[in-house]
């Protein structure tokens, strides 16, 4: 059925998240999935309701993905990129014809967007942990984000560390930061808007 978003997976998201975090601690930004409070704050900061093309980096078990799909217009497209094959298989189980699930790296953002013939994204949301990757890799990803965003597009990153703000400054300047304390761990939400 098109546009059907399951309320929960057949497996426990929390257990899957912990298992994958223990196997790949540098790829996953938190030991447990995002709280509903964090999901709401991310969706609001990104302005999902008026977006045509949204890109999600580091979809995990799909909690943020489902929140984006609930808020997104019916005509919009969501490209969710996940590097972990097990988490990608869970992402693929979300039944919504607006979702494009892609197994790959955020380092290849330009090529992935081109592969699906998508317009420049109005929104890019990232949960990938910039604090655990090399400075070079983080800079490469943020440069790609900045170049691929549509004019006036928004980049939203939810992170435990503030390293993304330092790395992103040369590309998008100073962003806004808020903190969601009703999440374990408390999560910082960074937001930038690309000048036209």
Q: Tokens for 183, please give them.
A: 């999440």
Of 152, 129, 118, residue with least CA distance to 46: 152
Euclidean distance between CA atoms 6 and 152, whole angstroms: 32
pLDDT at residue 168 in the model: 97
pLDDT at residue 133 in the model: 93
Cα angle, residue 72 at apex, residues 69 and 73 outer, rounded to 5°:
130
pLDDT at residue 29 in the model: 45
pLDDT in 10s for each residue of the chain, 196 residues: 444 444 443 444 544 444 444 444 444 444 467 899 999 999 999 999 999 999 999 998 899 999 999 999 999 999 999 999 989 999 999 999 999 999 999 999 999 999 999 999 999 999 999 999 999 999 999 999 999 999 999 999 999 999 999 999 999 999 999 999 999 889 999 999 999 7
Q: List Cα–Cα distances, 84 to 23, 88, 102, 107, 125, in angstroms.
A: 10, 6, 10, 14, 17
13-193 homologous superfamily: Vaccinia Virus protein VP39 (3.40.50.150)
Domain limits of the chain? Answer: 13-193
Identify the bridge partners of residue 123 per DSSP, sorted by sequence position: 54, 154
pLDDT at residue 10 in the model: 40
pLDDT at residue 32 in the model: 60
Q: What is residue 15's DSSP assignment?
A: H
pTM score = 0.85
pLDDT at residue 196 in the model: 75
Q: Which residues of 91-102 are buried (b: 16+ CB within 10 A; e: fewer)?
A: beebebebbbbb
């Amino acid at each position: 059925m098109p546009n059907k978003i399951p309320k929960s997976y057949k497996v426990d998201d929390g257990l899957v998240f912990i298992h994958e975090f223990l196997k790949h601690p540098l790829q996953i930004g938190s030991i447990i999935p995002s709280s509903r409070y964090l999901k709401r704050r991310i969706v609001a900061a990104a302005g999902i309701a008026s977006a045509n093309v949204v890109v999600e980096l580091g979809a995990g078990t799909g909690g943020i993905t489902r929140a984006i799909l609930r808020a997104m217009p019916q005509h919009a497209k969501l490209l969710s990129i996940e590097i972990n094959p097990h988490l990608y298989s869970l992402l693929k189980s979300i039944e919504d014809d607006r979702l494009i699930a892609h197994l790959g790296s955020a380092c290849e953002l330009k090529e992935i967007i081109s592969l699906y013939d998508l317009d420049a994204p109005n929104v890019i949301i990232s949960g990938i942990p910039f604090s655990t990757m090399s400075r070079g890799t983080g800079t490469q990803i943020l440069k790609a984000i900045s170049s691929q965003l549509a004019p006036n597009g928004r980049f939203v990153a939810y992170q435990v560390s503030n390293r993304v703000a330092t790395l992103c400054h040369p590309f998008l300047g100073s962003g806004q930061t808020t903190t969601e304390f009703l999440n374990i761990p408390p999560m910082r939400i960074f937001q930038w808007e690309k000048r036209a």
